[in-house]
Structures are given as structure tokens and as C-alpha cells.
Amino acid sequence: MTPNSVAIVGAAETTDLGKIPDMGQIQLHADAALNALADCGLTIKDIDGVATAGHSPQELAHYLGIVPSWVDGTSVGGCSYMLHVRHAVAAIEAGMCTTVLITHGESGRSRTGFLSPAMFASQFDAQFERPFGVSIPPTRFTLPVMRMMKDTGLTEEHLAMVAVVQREWAAFHPRASFRDPISVDDVLSSKMIAYPFRKLMCCLVTDGGGALILTSADRAKDFPTKPVYIRGLGESVETPVISQMKDMTSSAAFRVSGKKAFETAGISHADVDHLMIYDAFAHLPIYGLEDLGFVGRGEAGPFIAEGNTRPGGKLPMNTNGGGLSYMHSGMYGMYALQESVRQMRGISPAQVPDAKISFCHGVGGMFGASGSVVMTNEA
């Protein structure tokens, strides 16, 4: 890819967020798409590329009345939208299409018109994991953490601090599900879900959607919105089953995706003003900070606990409150991207002053997949 050749010109979430029982899941996609079109002054007729995950892209295109010349249905879990951005940049650069719409919609809480993305469907899962009593993500995604704790010194208090700091960020956001401050004690006395994980270390389950519209940078200047350029990109997958992760203390998919994003963007860690690391559970920002190279092995827990990622800290992270406090429909990656766009436009309720580069990192499945997007507001 060529850095800054493509820009995000339209970005929006659904009109409501959190609990939306009166809207079916495909309409959540459409609501976000229509909001994103209005955001940049385009109409459905201007879209010639569509990408989505969770629903099939043909259902999305048909529902919106689009017959596109480019389609991407990559569905690798909650970071699918990061991969869609990467694929869309390649498609626009190659001239396959000019204007791409990426949508997410998920009735995770109300289950209205809900279709399961079937993210756990795998032969190895069906034969070698599910029979042993793992089911929903809190019983799977958490499995490597005891190893991480023993090998690197990570503590339950460190995990609790991830939730505490993100609640501080959520307080800035009127649309966040939970905004009241919490303490380490609150987290460590919340209900046990899957030892050592307690309820406040686990993401929300809510309803919502989001959409992005991308086009070439030379056209981006003609839009009413401030262009957010795509400077670097990465993606990878490791395994559909967490028991077969090569190293329980490090995600291979994170490392590959993150390295590629830094390389293509031509930036160093010190250049990153704002960071999003998909936090379905409290350990994910820990793994992310270490695997992306922002800190050394075993340093992420103390780094967060010492306040480096909180409001006013040197590396503001998950400034919408994350999946732990802002919202988590199931495939949260779209909301991380939305907050990066808001930060690059300078309009986040938790705006980081003078932020010029945002690194947005997603996870899919249970450490199964990864996608990284580096955005900038300077071409």
C-alpha cells in the first residue's frame, strides 16, 4: 500500500447505542450506513464497493439497494472491519472501485433479527474444545492468562486497573453504556465468571452498529468532513482454537499484524498519539501493548496501573471506554475504528489534544485473528 492514498470520509455509529430492541440486526447496518452517508454528503448511488462481517455482503448490498463492483465478506471475528479497511485500500488503489462502504450491525443484547456470525465454528473446536465445557467467550478467551500471570508477573490487580482506567475514559462519552467511576476493589469483588476473570473484567453485551466510507485521498478533499488518511495496515490469523495458540503469553496474529502496520506506515511507537486496542476482556490491552511493542514483556500491567494510558497519560488508550465500558455488541472492532476517526477529526468527547496519528488494533475470535489500522489527519 501507499501511505495516505485512501481516506475515511464518512464515519458514523447507529443513531442509538446500547439497547435497541426495536431494530433488527440488518437495519442496524443500514442505520449506521445511512448516518455515514449523511456524514459525508454521499448517497447510496455513490457506493460501488461494500464490505461487512456477521451478515453476508449480498444481504447488505441488496438491503441497501447497491449492486457493487467490489465485495468483501471477510469474517474473522470482531476485527473483521480492520481487515475490510485494509482490503478496501488495496481495491481502491487497484482501481477496482472508488467508494467503499464498510458496515457493522449487531443486536448482541436484544437479539432482534439476530444472526450468529458462527465465529466458533471449527472442526478442532467441535472435537477438542467444546466437549470440555468452554462455551461463551469469557470461558475461552481467558484461558491463556494464568500462564501470562505466572510467566510475566501480571496480577489480578493489573487486570482490574485496565477496567478502572477505561471507565475513566468512558465518563467523557455521553453514549457510553457505563460512565460511573469504579475502583480496583469494585472489580475484584464483582461476580466471578471464569477464574481469574470477574464480571467487570469482561465486556458488555449491547446493541449497535457503525459504518465507514472510504475513497481515494485525491477525492477526499472535496468532502465536508476532515479526511482521515489510512497510513498503515496489517492483518493476520493464528488459530480457531485457543488451546493451540503457539505461545500463551503472546499472540502471533497480533505480532504479524502490528509489525506490518508499523512498517507500512513508516512510523515508530513514539509517533503514536492515540491508541485503540480491542478489549473484549481486560487482558487484551495487556497482550496488545506488549505484542505491538509499545512496552516490553511483562511491562504492560504496570504501565497501565501507573496511569500511562489514562486521561492525561503519555499514551491515551481506548479513549471511548472500550468494550469494557463504552459498548460491545459482539464484533466490537468497528467502534474502536470509530473512536480513532473521531480522534483524528478532533471531535471525540475525550479528545486527545493535537493527536495526529492513531493506531487502532483489533482482535478476532479468541486470539484467532488480528487487524491493525494506522490513521492520520496529516496527508
- Burial, 218: exposed, middle or buried (Cβ in 10 Å; 0-12, 13-18, 19+)? exposed
Peptide bond preceding 196: is omega within 30 degrees of 0, i.e. cis? yes
β-pair partners for 51: 72, 102
Q: What letter would DSSP give residue 226?
A: P
According to DSSP H, which parts of 266-345 are helical? 284-291, 300-305, 322-325, 333-345
| Number of Cβ within a 10 Å radius of residue 167 | 24
Helix axes 57-64, 25-40, angle to 10 degrees: 60
Rounded to a whole number of angstroms, the minimum distance from the CB of residue 18 to another protein is: 23
Rounded to a whole number of angstroms, the minimum distance from the CB of residue 246 to another protein is: 9
Rounded to a whole number of angstroms, the minimum distance from the CB of residue 355 to another protein is: 37
Rounded to a whole number of angstroms, the minimum distance from the CB of residue 363 to another protein is: 18
Nearest to another protein of 121, 126 (CB atom): 126
CA distances from 287 to 169, 226, 297, 305 (A): 20, 32, 9, 15
What DSSP element (H or E) covers 372? Answer: strand 369-376
Nearest to another protein of 44, 126 (CB atom): 126
Rounded to a whole number of angstroms, the minimum distance from the CB of residue 94 to another protein is: 31
Rounded to a whole number of angstroms, the minimum distance from the CB of residue 66 to another protein is: 39
Rounded to a whole number of angstroms, the minimum distance from the CB of residue 245 to another protein is: 9
Rounded to a whole number of angstroms, the minimum distance from the CB of residue 228 to another protein is: 39
Contacts of 267 (CB under 8 A, 6+ apart): 231, 232, 357, 374
Nearest to another protein of 69, 135 (CB atom): 135
Nearest to another protein of 62, 150 (CB atom): 150
Picking from 209, 32, 211, 198, the residue whose alpha carbon sits closest to that of residue 109 is 209
For residues 80 and 333, give the distance between their C-alpha atoms in angstroms, rounded to a whole number: 7
Q: Residues in the site for another protein, rule: CB under 8 A? A: 123-124, 126-136, 138-139, 142-147, 150, 191-197, 241, 243-244, 248
Nearest to another protein of 198, 310 (CB atom): 198
Picking from 138, 118, 10, 149, the residue whose alpha carbon sits closest to that of residue 56 is 118
Q: Chain centroid to CA 371: how far?
A: 9
Look up residue 226 and give its three cell numbers: 476532515
Nearest to another protein of 45, 191 (CB atom): 191
Nearest to another protein of 90, 143 (CB atom): 143
| Number of Cβ within a 10 Å radius of residue 314 | 10
Look up residue 129 and give its three cell numbers: 474444545
CA distances from 160 to 27, 151, 167, 285, 312 (A): 36, 19, 11, 12, 19
Nearest to another protein of 139, 155 (CB atom): 139
Rounded to a whole number of angstroms, the minimum distance from the CB of residue 202 to another protein is: 11
